[in-house]
Structures are given as C-alpha cells and as structure tokens.
Amino acid sequence: MRYVQRGTVIFAFTAKGCELAGKIKDKLLKQREQERSEGTIELWITEKLAERVLEGSMLQQKDAESGMVICKEPLSKWLAKNWNDYERMIFVSATGIAVRMIAPFLKDKRTDPAVVVLDECGTYSISLVSGHLGGANELAALLAEAVGAIPVITTATDVEQQFAVDLFAKKNGLKILNLSLAKEMTAELLHGGKIGFYSEKPIEGKLPKGLVRVEDREELKVFSYGIEISAERKKKSWDSCSVLQLLPRDLVLGIGCRKGMTAEALLAAAKTAEQSGIFSIAEIGMIASIDLKAKEQGILELAALWQVPFLTFSAEELSQVTEVSKESEFVQNIAGVGNVCERAAILGAQVRTAEIKKQKYCGITFAAARKKGSIRFE
C-alpha cells in the first residue's frame, strides 16, 4: 500500500542555504518513509550555484533520481510552468524573495500550495501561505523542530488558540461548502460569539470554546451561526441563522482504466456517473487503484484536481478481497485480479463491501466504498 502525492520543492539561493536545505530534505525524506508516501522531494538551485557547491558529475543529474533541480532559467519562469506540480514549497531565503516569486501565481487558499520560508541560518521557520488548508502552519512547526528554528505562525485562530473551521474540516476530511461563511464564523468566535454545532456522525473529544452542540438540526435556529456536518447537501436555512454545511469526504473512489487514460477522460466519466446519481464528486476523499497505476498521469492529475490522496495496492493485497460483484478475465490476465476498482475502494475505505459496485464508462471502471469513523476534536 502506497500513497501517491504531489511533491515538495525546496528553493535555495546560497551555499549556506543549500546546507540548510539539505537538512530539511533529510527530515522530509524520513517523514515520507514513515507515512509510506511517494511524493517527490526536490532541491531547486540555479546552475551557477550548482557549479559552486556540487561535484561536476552531479550537474548532469537533473532531478528524479538525485532529487535535484538545477535550473538554467529564472525562478519566475520555472514557477509559471511547475506551480501546480507541488503541494509544498519551502524557500530558504529572505521572506521578500518568496513573496515576490509566488505572488503572481496565488489564486485560492483551497488550491494554493503550502509555502514556508526559513532564513539561511535556520533561525525562523515562517508559515507564509495556506497555513490551515495547505498545511503550512504544521509544516513550519515540523521544520522548526528539525533545524532548531523558531516557528512563526500568524493566523489569528492559532495566536488566540481559538477553533478554526478550515483546519478542523481538513483534519476530519470535510468539505467546506461556503468558505466566505466559514470566515464569518471565525470572526464571530474571535469576538467571543457562540456557534451551534450539529453532526450526523459520532463525535469524539471535547467541543472547543465557542461551539455549542445540539442534538437536532432545528435547534440551530437559536444561534446566529450554525455548523452542520451531514452527508446530503441541505438547502434549508433560516432567517435567524446562517448554517455552514461541512460535507464528509469519506467516499473512496476505486478506479480501473487502460494505460494512458487522460485526466480529462477520467473527469468526464466521473461527471457522467455523478449526473446519473451514482455518486457525488464532492464526497470523494480518496482515489484508490492497483500499484500498476501508481504513475498513471491521468489519475495523478485527477487526484491533484480534486485535492485528494491517491492510494495504490499490490495485486496480492487486492486479491485478499473476495466479495466483489463482477470479474474480468481480460483484466485478470493483465493485472492479476479481475476487478481492480471495487477491491481498491474496499481496501482504501477499510470496509467489507463496496457501497457502489463496479460501473463502466468508456473503458473506465469506478466503484466506491464509504469510510466509517467519527468527528474528532483535539
């Protein structure tokens, strides 16, 4: 079982910065091994800097095997081409350099990569962009511990030690259906307000200050703001209460397809399935398949588009699932198992059977299983 993710890139501009970047990379490589993930971790340096700090033979090794990107073009041009390929960016530089480089490419906190800045002496580790949803705050703290730096976190909810809707949603695999309303609720909590909280899923842990649990959705009407965790999209609201729905992304989508299937074709098939009422794309929190597809570009791009992890299993692991609806002799001969999508969905969700059995769309097969679990407060 392996997680396939977008990568991490570390930018260094001086020899001293390269030294610190090397320590950071070692820490992240250890983390990757512990998490059994496959996201790339690369060190970006200029060709001129490479001539100063690397052996001559290394200049011919571009990246994948050595984990090195030796760039001949300006960073601004490189970022324009590669911005969407990374989920984490770490600058070993002055904060101003990082700000100027990333500013033209920032679009939305839900899709922008986490950006962290460390000075080349390793004194400060600064969370710059996508602190909660992108994980920059967590990454800044991790790197600070690794190199002995002081973490610098400036998001108001962290500073005030207050409940943050976006961070809570991310940790619990929930989709925020109205980000503007979530911001209003954060402001309400920071000003000492009370927010009603209703969940269809079981709850573990103690509710944080400012949240008041209710047993029935109708009870949210007594509050100015309410949070609702439910699987179905709700349109009903009240004049007296603005309700923010958090949709559980607990559906694991198993995918089987022929080699070279594009992300566009996969997305079109998924939308067709959604329009037919088979599943809701908004509820998908993970994609799963066989390890033969671990580097299938179309699936990797789809996972990046949906911002979900891509999990793969070996044929041996998949074969341990015996309760599936349909088998294909053709797929059996190629992959070693006759039904990839259903088995992958079941293993990914860690359940016994698939909620949505094998469906076929233009050479693509889908199946889905729903994870069980509760909502956790830390």
pLDDT of 75 over the 80 cut:
yes
Helices (H) and strands (E) in the chain, counts: 13, 20
> What residue spans of 59-121 are helical by DSSP H?
75-82, 95-102
pLDDT of 348 strictly over 70: yes
Rounded Cα gap, residues 199 and 211, in angstroms: 12
SS (H, E, C) 124-168: EEEEEECCCCCCHHHHHHHHHHHHCCEEECCCHHHHCCCCCHHHH
**Chain centroid offset of residue 327 CA:** 32
What's the DSSP call for residue 208?
A: P
For the stretch 236-287, pLDDT in tens is 555 557 889 999 999 999 999 989 999 999 999 999 999 988 888 999 999 9
**In terms of DSSP bridges, do strands 284-290 and 251-257 run parallel, antiparallel, or are they unpaired?**
parallel
Percent of the chain with pLDDT strictly greater than 90: 51
What is the distance between the alpha carbons of residues 173 and 143, in angstroms, rounded to a whole number?
24
pTM assigned to the model? 0.68
- The domain defined by 251-370 folds into Nucleotidyltransferase; domain 5 (3.30.420)
Task: Compute the average pLDDT of residues 357-363.
Answer: 90
CATH of 165-248, one of 3.90.930.12, 2.60.40.1240, 3.40.1390.40, 2.60.130.10: 3.40.1390.40
C-alpha 43/C-alpha 41 separation (Å) is: 7
Q: Using alpha carbons, list the distances in angstroms from residue 145 to 94, 148, 157.
A: 20, 5, 21
Q: Hey, how many other C-beta atoms are within 10 angstroms of the C-beta on 206?
A: 9
Angle between helices 95-102 and 75-82 (to 10 degrees): 50
**What's the DSSP call for residue 37?**
B
Question: pLDDT tens-digit profile of 183-216?
Answer: 899 888 888 899 999 999 999 999 999 999 999 9
**C-alpha–C-alpha distance, residues 268 and 129, integer Å:** 32
Domain with CATH 3.40.50.11220 in the chain: 2-154
Burial track 116-129 (b if 16+ CB lie within 10 A, e otherwise): bbbbbebeebbbbb
- Level-2 CATH architecture, domain 2-154: 3-Layer(aba) Sandwich (3.40)
pLDDT of 37 reads 66
